[in-house]
């Protein structure tokens, strides 16, 4: 996220709108990450650390982490739900502009909205 905070004056005890928007964005991101399987979060964290070992080594480690995550039963269920709701269609792909800009960002494995 790119944010520019101008010098803004707020009344005592209030938060300027730019800070409020930033906090809301981070809270939303935290909820989204928390909705992912714990193993997938751990794999992503490990991939970030593995990137420090070098580009080639980091990419190999990331590919292996992806393979482990893709093999998880929950990953298959989530992908099936995503595809059933129109994921990977020309219509959806033409509308997606930035990361997280999906019509169903927090879908459940059971398929409930």
Q: Can you give the pLDDT of all 113 residues of the chain as single tens digits?
A: 444 445 555 666 677 888 888 888 899 889 888 888 899 999 999 988 988 888 898 899 999 999 999 999 988 888 888 888 877 888 777 766 544 555 454 444 444 44
**pTM for this entry:** 0.56
| DSSP assignment of 80-91 | HHHHHTTTTSHH
Give residue limits of the domains in the chain: 37-95
């Amino acid at each position: 996220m790119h944010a520019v905070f101008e010098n803004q004056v707020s009344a005592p005890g209030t938060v300027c709108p730019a800070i409020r928007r930033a906090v809301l964005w981070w809270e939303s991101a935290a909820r989204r990450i928390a909705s992912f399987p714990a193993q997938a979060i751990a794999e992503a964290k490990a991939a970030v650390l593995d990137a420090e070992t070098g580009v080639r080594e980091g990419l190999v480690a990331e590919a292996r982490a992806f393979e482990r995550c893709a093999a998880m039963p929950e990953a298959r269920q989530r992908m099936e739900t995503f595809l059933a709701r129109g994921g990977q269609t020309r219509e959806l792909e033409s509308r997606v502009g930035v990361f997280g800009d999906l019509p169903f960002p927090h879908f459940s494995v059971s398929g409930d909205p």
